[in-house]
Amino acid sequence: MAESLVKEHVSSKEKIWTRDFILICLANFFVFLGFQMTLPTIPLFVESLGGNDRLIGVVVGIFTFSALLIRPFAGQLLETKGRRFVFLAGLTIFIFTIGVFGFTTSLILLFAIRVIQGIGWGYSTTASGTIATDLIPAKRRGEGMGYYGLSGNVALAIGPSLGLILVNMISFKELFLICGLLGVIAWISASTIRYKKAEPIAIAAKTTKWNLYEKSALQPSILIFFISVTFGGISTFLPLYADQRGVTGIQWYFFIFAAALMTTRIFAGQLYDKHGHKAIYIPSTILISIAMLLLAWMPNNTVLYIAAICYGLGFGALQPALQAWSVEKAAANRKGMANATYFSFFDLGIGFGAILFGQIGYFLDYRSIYITAALSVLLSIVIYIWLLIRNKQT
């Protein structure tokens, strides 16, 4: 029989920090820590296997595209098979694939493993976001998603820098095995969450067709696509770009970015709950655009760090707001699909950005990557304004 978590809370006075919410945050932290440690080191690993910028973009992009393709099925399975099944299955796949990275000696085999890893990532992250949504009181969803996001942000503050430090001290094989061990800790935390039996409305979903998206989540999901394009450019090529420019503080970039991200998460969720996305979107996207232009310039560490602050503040406020927006109008038995829709567009942006920027970096230069990323964010502002006008008219 399918399973689901505790019924959605309705009182704004109810607690966010329950036992199960802490456990899902811990699971999210450890799996994200292992993942974040690979973000700046996978490009270096591809280089060690003889790959160039174009191949680096494909290796990163193929992971996110496989996660993208699996998310609609993950969303459906969350309502029919239950949160526990999807979450633990996804973590198992992710742990296995990240652990065998270091034993890979060919780019072709690495591509295949990355495809499988993307499937595990798609299952686990769609499930964890839905589980967090289930556990947060409805009237405090923006605030709660901000706190949940902090678990990933702390991992982001530690992971990339730790990965870059360790890769200079140990082999790639040992690094990836450590990342897999962190995934095991996440699996243990996830297995102790108290899951409950499904409600009748969720069981009834077995008889419905396999929908590929949740319509109510489309608008914020489209917007996050244009924002997450920037993340693909930073996570994949910024270490290589900084080295090319002779900027030596790349390890500190990720730490400062994550610190700014965590700072804004403290108040951005509450701001969303009180005033909605209109109070957050435009200021956040302007900050992200400034960050991209600063990275395109980047003459020294100071500018790099200012870009990290701008990007962290903007992305930290925007990401949980758009995720909360994507699930707030979905029916109780469609919140899993709403999260799947949101993360599908998030993955599509990262994957598209990594592949596109790989071509731009190969044929033009790294600087052009961040100019293009700024244009993507500015385009999202135009689309957002159009959506506001369209929504008023309807």
The domain spanning residue 150 has which CATH number? 1.20.1250.20
pLDDT of residue 394: 60
| Residue 4 maps to a domain | no
- Say whether both 225 and 178 belong to one domain: no
Chain-centre distance of CA 102, in angstroms?
23
pLDDT of residue 7: 42
pTM of the model: 0.73
Closest CA to 278 of 331, 223, 230: 223
Domain-terminating residue out of 168, 196, 224: 196
pLDDT of residue 16: 84
CA distance 214 to 156: 29
| Residue 202 maps to a domain | no
pLDDT of residue 205: 44
pLDDT of residue 207: 40
| Host domain of residue 170 | 16-196
Mean pLDDT by 10 residues, the chain (394 residues): 41 72 94 90 88 80 82 82 92 94 89 93 89 83 78 80 88 94 96 69 46 82 93 77 87 85 78 85 96 95 95 89 83 77 84 85 90 96 94 72
Strand, helix or coil for residue 34: helix
- Say whether both 270 and 171 belong to one domain: no
pLDDT of residue 6: 41
| Residue 207 maps to a domain | no
| Residue 45 maps to a domain | yes
Q: How many domains does the chain have?
A: 2
pLDDT of residue 199: 54
Domain-terminating residue out of 165, 196, 227: 196
| Residue 6 maps to a domain | no
